[in-house]
C-alpha cells in the first residue's frame, strides 16, 4: 500500500478550505491524503528582527511528527516564512525527504493590498503544497513555465503556473515511485 501524504495545518490553523487543499494534493499526486493535527513550538523559529519564522526550524520540528514510516508530511501555516539567504519563502522542503512546509501568508491577495479572495488563496496554496511535496518526492525545479515545479519567486509566478506536473516531472515521479517498491 502506498504511504499517505499527511497534511498538517499547524497549531490549530483551520481555514474552511482544508478539504479542498487535500483534494488538490490528492489529485496531483494520486496518493492518499490524510489530515493530521500537529502542534509545533514556533517560538524558537521566530526572528523578532524580521517578524518572520525560520522555515527550516519549523520543518525540523515537523519532521519529528511524521505519523508513519514512508509517509510524507506537509505543514501549512499562516505565518510568514523565511530562510536566511532569502527575504521570504512560500515554502520549504527536504529534497527527496520526508517533509515540507508552506505558508499562506504571502499567498493571500490582501497581503498585497488587494481585496480578499478565498478562491485565489486556495488555488495558490494547492500549487505551493504540490510544489513542495514534489521536492519531497525528489523533483527539482522545472524549466516548463506551466509546470507546478517551476520556481516561483513572486506570487505572480505562482499564478502563472498550473497545479499539476508536466509530463517530464510526472514521469520522474512514476520512476521514483517504481524504484521505491
CA distances 93 to 49, 112, 113, 141, Å, are: 24, 25, 28, 12
Strands 52-54 and 46-47: antiparallel
CA geometry: angle 93, 99, 102, nearest 5 deg: 55
DSSP letter at 93 equals: E
Longest C-alpha distance within the chain, in Å?
48
Could you please report the per-residue DSSP string of 165-177? --HHHHHHHHHHH
Task: Give the chain's length.
Answer: 181
Yes or no: say if 58 and 47 are a contact pair by the CB < 8 Å rule.
no
Q: Which of 49, 132, 156, 171 is catalytic?
A: 132
Q: Is 49 a catalytic residue?
A: no
CA distance 27 to 25: 5
Residues forming the active site: 132
Amino acid at each position: 500500500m502506498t504511504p499517505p501524504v499527511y497534511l498538517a495545518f499547524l497549531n490549530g490553523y483551520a481555514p474552511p478550505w482544508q478539504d479542498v487543499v487535500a483534494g488538490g494534493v490528492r489529485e496531483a499526486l494520486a496518493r492518499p491524503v490524510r489530515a493530521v493535527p500537529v502542534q509545533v513550538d514556533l517560538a524558537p523559529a521566530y526572528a523578532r528582527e524580521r517578524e518572520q519564522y525560520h522555515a527550516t526550524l519549523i520543518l525540523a520540528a515537523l519532521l519529528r511528527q511524521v505519523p508513519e514510516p514512508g509517509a510524507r508530511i506537509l505543514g501549512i501555516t499562516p505565518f510568514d516564512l523565511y530562510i536566511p539567504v532569502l527575504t521570504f519563502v512560500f515554502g520549504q522542503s527536504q529534497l527527496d525527504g520526508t517533509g515540507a512546509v508552506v505558508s499562506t501568508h504571502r499567498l493571500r491577495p490582501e497581503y498585497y493590498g488587494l481585496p480578499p479572495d478565498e478562491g485565489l488563496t486556495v488555488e495558490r496554496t494547492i500549487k505551493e503544497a504540490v510544489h513542495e511535496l514534489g521536492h519531497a518526492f525528489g523533483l527539482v525545479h522545472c524549466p516548463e513555465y506551466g509546470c507546478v515545479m517551476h520556481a516561483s519567486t513572486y506570487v505572480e509566478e505562482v499564478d502563472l503556473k498550473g497545479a499539476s506536473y508536466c509530463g517530464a516531472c510526472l514521469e520522474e515521479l512514476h520512476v521514483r515511485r517504481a524504484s521505491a517498491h
